[in-house]
Amino acid sequence: MTDRRTDLPSLAPPGIMLGIGLGGFFDGIVLHQIFQTHAMLSAVIPMDSMMNMKANMLADGLFHALMWMATLIGVALLWRALNGRRGASAPGWRLIGYMLAGWGWFNLIEGLIDHHLLNLHHVIEALGVSIWDWLFLASGIVLILAGHAIARKSSQIT
């Protein structure tokens, strides 16, 4: 698979994998750890005892390990896509666009599955399903649309 108007391999797979990984890291670090608005299983296993907190921390750790693997795969795919392109400038805006789209896909899929379908947790656990869960989904859609628009526009320039 190659990007249009070039003979270069597509940056969509590495950009989207990096966006998923980085979006997951942002969610886990900012919402789970820094602001502590929820944990991975907090709607199913309430954090009201040390045993339950440990179960949630383990689930959060497994979640972060999966996001790290997604990021590592994205870096490997990026390396493969750009390997051997000596003297050419990297198509950075296209990559950034695809990464934003990947982050959006993370927000949309994780929000739909964990917040709405499985009811595992919510953006702000104390509120249950709230406007914040819907805004999380909306942010995914905005990031997907903006990311693909940036990638498409930069493909037309190069």
**2 found inside a domain:** no
Query: Count of domains in the chain?
Result: 1
pTM: 0.74
**4 found inside a domain:** no
**47 found inside a domain:** yes
CA-to-CA dists, residue 19 to 15, 75, 107, 111, 144, angstroms:
6, 11, 10, 15, 10
**71 found inside a domain:** yes
- pLDDT for 92: 74
The per-residue pLDDT for range 32-70, each reduced to its tens digit, is 999 999 999 999 999 999 999 999 999 999 999 999 999
Range of the domain at 89: 12-157
The per-residue pLDDT for range 92-141, each reduced to its tens digit, is 788 889 999 999 999 999 999 999 999 999 999 999 999 999 999 999 99
**5 found inside a domain:** no
- pLDDT for 88: 41
* Percent of the chain whose predicted confidence (pLDDT) is above 90: 75
**6 found inside a domain:** no
**64 found inside a domain:** yes
**Average model confidence (pLDDT) across the chain:** 90
**1 found inside a domain:** no
Q: No. of H helices and E strands in the chain?
A: 4, 0
